[in-house]
């Protein structure tokens, strides 16, 4: 990804801004690797917070979860949510190579929001800009490309509603 585009987004175009962002990126990259191999769940959550992911209280983050490495601060996770192992949560999409496709698919940076009490099972992929409603469940292996209402079970590729959850029963 061209660094100038990232620096523009964060308003760090000056010489010192570049140096500041360079250190921030290296620290986030290092912490990403530490969190990836961390065996203690509470430490993983803390490390991802240090990386810039906005994480609520009582959140569980499984092993080998990958958060967007460049725009970590554009990811928000509500209180008491659970993120399953090997889940991928992104906040931007772009074509890093210089091709004609960049004209068709320009860079997109969008907030990705996971509500309160959400259960994301293992191996889920969440696209940039998706909002997942409170107390929703995302089934193993789902690819979430659109917003998810509260209290539903989503499954499939692409994910779709397979069940409305009645939590009062």
For residue 54, what is the DSSP state? Answer: E
Q: Quick check: is 48 catalytic?
A: no
- Residue 77 φ then ψ, to 5°: -125, 125
Give the C-alpha separation, 113 to 100, whole Å. 31
55: burial class by Cβ within 10 Å (0-12, 13-18, 19+)?
buried
- Residue 68, classed as helix, strand or coil, is coil
Rg (CA), the chain: 17
Among residues 48, 63, 80, 92, the one annotated as catalytic is 92
* Contact between 128 and 109 (Cβ < 8 Å): yes
Residue holding tokens 């209402």? Answer: 149
Catalytic positions, please? Answer: 92
């Amino acid at each position: 990804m061209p660094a100038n585009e990232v620096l523009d987004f964060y308003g760090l175009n000056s010489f010192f801004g570049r140096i500041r962002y360079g250190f921030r990126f290296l620290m986030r990259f290092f912490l990403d690797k530490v969190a990836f191999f961390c065996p203690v769940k509470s430490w993983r959550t803390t490390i991802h917070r240090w990386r810039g992911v906005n994480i609520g209280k009582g959140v569980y983050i499984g092993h080998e979860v990958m958060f967007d490495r460049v725009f970590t601060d554009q990811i928000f996770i509500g209180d008491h949510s659970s993120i399953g192992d090997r889940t991928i949560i992104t906040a931007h999409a772009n074509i890093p190579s210089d091709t004609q496709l960049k004209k068709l698919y320009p860079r997109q940076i969008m907030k990705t929001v996971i509500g309160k009490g959400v259960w994301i099972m293992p191996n889920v992929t969440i696209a940039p800009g998706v909002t997942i409603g409170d107390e929703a469940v995302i089934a193993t292996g789902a690819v979430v490309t659109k917003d998810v209402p509260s209290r539903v079970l989503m499954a499939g590729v692409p994910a779709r509603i397979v069940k409305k959850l009645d939590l009062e029963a």
